[in-house]
Amino acid sequence: MNLADLPLIGPFAEFDFMARALAGCIALSFSAAPVGVFLLLRRMSLTGDAMAHAVLPGAALGYLVAGLSLGAMTVGGIAAGLTVAAASGLAARNSVLREDASLAAFYLLSLALGVLIVSVRGNSVDLLHVLFGTVLALDSATLTLLGGIAVVTLLALRLLWRPLLLECYDPQFLRSVSRLSPLAHYGFLVLMVLNLVAGFHALGTLMAVGLMVLPAATARLWTRRLLPLLVLAVALALLASTGGLLVSYQFDTPTSPTIVLALGLAYLFSLMAAPQGALRHQRPSATHYRA
């Protein structure tokens, strides 16, 4: 039997652009989903969304200088994301604003600036490319970048495993017993920005955070243990991105939103059916906490 005749395999076997899109989604699933798990544990999921928009002006400036250049847009996006993270932290430490408020202010400024740059110097096609990505047009250089970021992310998470866990559950204890606290904190921010830039190239700035946050949130409804949580988040990202690509191919829908909607449907189903979901999860009564 010819693989091209199989409905679930045929599009990937027959069309090179579908195979490249699948390879890009696999790389993103193995890098962004684990980062999303730690975002969830650190209660920073909305921070991920803010940072996804914060990379836009840097990518837009890269586009302004060199056009749709992978290197220029990557370097610009990373620089913009790290700048917004550092600026919001400085504003929070030197003013009455909390970090979430300062981050919201800076990311809104970044988003508006990025859209303005692309709109003024580009056209509607360029703007759609930046906002929603071109996962069906990934080339070899972009796939190499996504694969490299996935490898760096997995190696960094392995090296920072213990300090990251401690910072998730008791950051003050980590600061008191180890000098690795700043490394864990800022190293994780760098990983987050790298993965958001990778997601930006494939899914666009509006959809990039979906493959990071939704698999982690869905997996958390099914398990409390960390290793199964990581594995399940990656598996959900793989299944939803593959399903989203197939649905987009069959029904000619925008690919990035279709992938994120597939992740959203998995989340809504889990919210109803999972052990920690809305219907089955029983909150402890007040007497449970009494001595």
Token digits for 76?
């610009």
Token digits for 274?
């999972």
Domain ranges of the chain: 3-273
pLDDT, residue 1, reads 53
pLDDT, residue 229, reads 96
Are 185 and 167 a contacting pair, CB within 8 Å? Answer: yes
pTM of the model: 0.88
**The residue count for the chain:** 291
φ, ψ of residue 212 in degrees (nearest 5): -95, -45
95: left (phi over 0), alpha (psi -120 to 50) or beta: beta
Cβ atoms within 10 Å of 235's Cβ, excluding its own: 14
φ, ψ of residue 79 in degrees (nearest 5): -60, -45
DSSP 262: H
pLDDT, residue 2, reads 58
Whole-number Å distance between alpha carbons of 197 and 78: 7
pLDDT, residue 235, reads 97
The CATH number corresponding to 3-273 among 3.60.10.10, 3.40.50.2300, 1.10.580.10, 1.10.3470.10 equals 1.10.3470.10
Contacts of 110 (CB under 8 A, 6+ apart): 53, 54, 55, 56, 57, 80, 84
From first to last of its 291 residues, what are the pLDDT tens digits of the chain? 555 555 678 889 889 999 999 999 999 999 999 999 999 998 887 788 788 888 888 888 887 788 778 899 899 999 998 888 888 877 777 787 777 778 888 888 888 888 788 777 766 666 677 777 789 889 999 999 999 999 999 999 999 998 888 888 877 777 777 777 888 888 898 999 999 999 988 998 778 899 999 999 999 999 999 999 999 999 999 999 999 999 999 999 999 999 999 999 999 999 999 988 877 766 554 444 343
